[in-house]
Amino acid sequence: MKYYEKMLELGCFNKSKVIELTGSEAAAKSLLYDYQKKGYIEKVKRDFYAVISLETKQPILSRYQIGSQLFSDAAITHHSAFEAFGYANQVFYEVYVATDYRFRDFEYNGILYHRMERNAYTDMVTNGKLRVTGIEQTIVDSIKDFTKIAGLEEVIRCIMLVPSVKEEKILEALSVYDNKFLYQKCGYILEQLQDELGLSNDFFEYLSRYTAEGKRYLIKENGQNVWNLKWKIYVPADFMHLVDKGVSDYDAI
């Protein structure tokens, strides 16, 4: 257990870190084999290992910490970021990781890790070994991709658990994407939650300047859509039912 304490400080690591500890590649390979056999560490994926607690026999780092340590630029994003903040309505058995480094989806300890493209200007928050997209960035990203990740109802529920947001940070995230349809989606959805989030009328007036012309649908496959003149977008006729449902579920927690 000569190196176990130092590995505990790392939480997770690749072989190069072990070479630094042992002084040679041969010694590193031997140590990795020995520690895996003894249950001190586990292989997460190729050339990446997690340290195991001797008491609980589980990784000492959370799934979110492991995901954000996969690469130097990695950050937990989308629904996983809501989970990491404690604002998720549900906890998924998936972790979404934003990074420029390419990797195939892999499973470790019952959790599936997915790669998401990382924007160079993504707002991130670091807390120890956890790196996660800022809450406003998370809201914008989740609205952008709700048809691919989580779904509209779950995203609404997550947003409703957020105690407060900074308008300027939402605007910064939107300006980076520079996508009029995303302005429309965020404008419409967030306006339905204006009171809960404490957003100003000026904020929505600003967003409405970026609406695009033409027919756009918040959810294409939805059968009952109505035209929203302000945001120039077709929205589900029962959208407020989703919001009301989110309020009821929140009150029941």
80 burial class (0-12, 13-18, 19+ CB within 10 angstroms)?
buried
CB contact at 8 A, 87 and 162 = yes
Distance CA 187, CA 8 (A): 45
Which tokens go with 159?
Answer: 């947003």
Q: Are residues 146 and 81 in the same domain?
A: yes
Structure tokens at 58: 């589980």
- Report how far residue 245's alpha carbon sits from residue 225's, in angstroms, rounded to the nearest whole number: 19
Q: Is there a domain that residue 56 lies in?
A: no
Contact predicate 36/4, CB 8 Å: no
What is the domain range of residue 39?
4-51
Are residues 35 and 67 part of one domain? no
pTM here? Answer: 0.92
In a domain, residue 107? The reply is yes
Query: Does some domain include residue 247?
Result: yes
Could you list the pLDDT tens digit for every one of the 253 residues in the chain? 899 999 999 999 999 999 999 999 999 999 999 999 999 999 999 999 999 999 999 999 999 999 999 999 999 999 999 999 999 989 999 999 999 999 999 999 999 999 999 988 899 999 999 999 999 999 999 999 999 999 999 999 999 999 999 999 999 999 999 999 999 999 999 999 999 999 999 999 999 999 988 889 998 876 789 999 999 999 998 887 766 654 444 343 3
Per-residue tokens: 251:
């009150």
What per-residue confidence (pLDDT) applies to 252? 36
Give yes or no: residues 13 and 87 share one domain.
no
Residues 112 and 181 in one domain: yes
User: What per-residue confidence (pLDDT) applies to 247?
Assistant: 45
Are 84 and 203 members of one domain? Answer: yes
Residue 167 lies in a domain: yes
Pull the structure tokens for residue 234.
């077709």
What's the pLDDT at 220? 80
Number of domains in the chain: 2
